Amino acid sequence: MAPKSSAVGLPTFGQRLANAGRQRGRLCVGIDPHAHLLKAWGLGDDVTGLERFTAICVEAFAQDAALVKPQVAFFERFGSRGFAVLERALADLRDAGCLTLADAKRGDIGSTMAGYATAWLDPASTLCADAVTVSPYLGVGALDAVFAQAQAHQAGVFVLAATSNPEAREVQFSRGADGRLVCQAVVDECAQRNAVHAPQPGNVGVVVGATVAEPPQLEQLNGPVLLPGVGAQGASAADVKRITAHAPELGFANVSRSILSQGPDVQALRDAVRAQAEEFGS
């Protein structure tokens, strides 16, 4: 039984993301304040450096990027003060009309998963984002709490399916008892949860690396696809087009390093976002 929604009549996350892609280009831009990038920008590897780095990214991306993805780990490493910087960034991006994706990769069971779901998708939470990344490798059904939260608020969930890191292949491309690839089974279960929203795209998306040569079948997903691995990892716009040929308007390339390398100059960062967005279409 589908959870009762407090957002009846509102567009799904999939609809909102597709609209943002048409207006701004189908690009997800990362905010990744890792230590060597802070240094490259002339900033300290401390909370002050984190605050400055994040403020520059928000200023540069808020008006031009369709989706902005802060990597939670790089804020979490500074403890509560780091989370305070992330909370402010999410709020500022939201106020500017930019969609946000908290790259938290949470995955657990029962009440613990419900706690994560509330933290990242409940509008009452100071950490609330438009969408969150989650791991299904305790079982897709273990994520029911986050799916319910997404349905209640028309928020987004990106489920790791076939990721771009080579270590993942042993698990994600093994076969289950029914003969399906594990990553295909993940996609199929996500598709079932989006079926209620058809023909509009639903709230549940998947992560499929643009470097994956033989990705799972996505035709039935009816939801957004996030594609890491573009640029520094070797994938191109042609790879993104190949994987999302079934519904190109729902495919969003995740680009971080090639854009962030243009910082800390705000205009250079903006120009990089616009150029990359043009490359991936609108």
What integer pLDDT is reported at residue 1 of this predicted model? 26
What integer pLDDT is reported at residue 230 of this predicted model? 87
Q: Structure tokens of 52?
A: 């400055």
pLDDT, one tens digit per residue, over 138-160 is 999 999 999 999 999 999 999 99
Q: Give phi and psi for 213, each to the nearest 5.
A: -70, -40
What integer pLDDT is reported at residue 6 of this predicted model? 46
pLDDT above 80 for 281? no
What integer pLDDT is reported at residue 280 of this predicted model? 82
CB neighbour list of residue 86: distance below 8 Å, 6 or more residues apart: 54, 70, 72, 75, 127
pLDDT band, residue 19 (cuts 50/70/90): very high
What residues act catalytically?
Answer: 105
> Which residue type is seen at 155?
A
pLDDT band, residue 279 (cuts 50/70/90): confident
Inter-residue contact 123 to 153 (CB < 8 Å): yes
Q: Residue 228: name the closest of 129, 274, 156, 160 by CA.
A: 160
> By percentage, how much of the chain surpasses pLDDT 90?
90
Buried b (16+ CB within 10 A) or exposed e, 133-152: bbbbeeebebbbbbbbbbbb
What integer pLDDT is reported at residue 5 of this predicted model? 40
The DSSP string of 179-230 is S-BHHHHHHHHHHHHHGGGTTS--SEEEEE-TT-SSPPP-TT--S-EEE--B
Q: Which domains does the chain have, with CATH numbers?
A: 13-279 (3.20.20.70)
Burial class (CB within 10 angstroms; exposed 0-12, middle 13-18, buried 19+) of 213: exposed
What integer pLDDT is reported at residue 17 of this predicted model? 98
Inter-residue contact 159 to 207 (CB < 8 Å): yes
pLDDT band, residue 131 (cuts 50/70/90): very high
d(CA 245, CA 267): 33
Inter-residue contact 233 to 257 (CB < 8 Å): no
Lowest-pLDDT range of 8-12, 116-120, 245-249? 8-12
d(CA 257, CA 255): 7
Burial class (CB within 10 angstroms; exposed 0-12, middle 13-18, buried 19+) of 29: buried
What integer pLDDT is reported at residue 235 of this predicted model? 86
Q: Structure tokens of 240?
A: 């993104």
What integer pLDDT is reported at residue 2 of this predicted model? 32
pLDDT, one tens digit per residue, over 195-237 is 999 999 999 999 999 999 999 999 999 999 999 998 766 788 9
pLDDT above 60 for 186? yes
The whole-number average pLDDT for the span 44-56 is 98
Burial class (CB within 10 angstroms; exposed 0-12, middle 13-18, buried 19+) of 122: middle
What integer pLDDT is reported at residue 264 of this predicted model? 98
What integer pLDDT is reported at residue 282 of this predicted model? 52
What integer pLDDT is reported at residue 8 of this predicted model? 61
What integer pLDDT is reported at residue 3 of this predicted model? 35
pLDDT above 90 for 7? no
* Mean pLDDT computed over every residue of the chain: 94
Q: Return the ∠ at Cα 159 (arms to 50 and 70), rounded to 5°.
A: 10
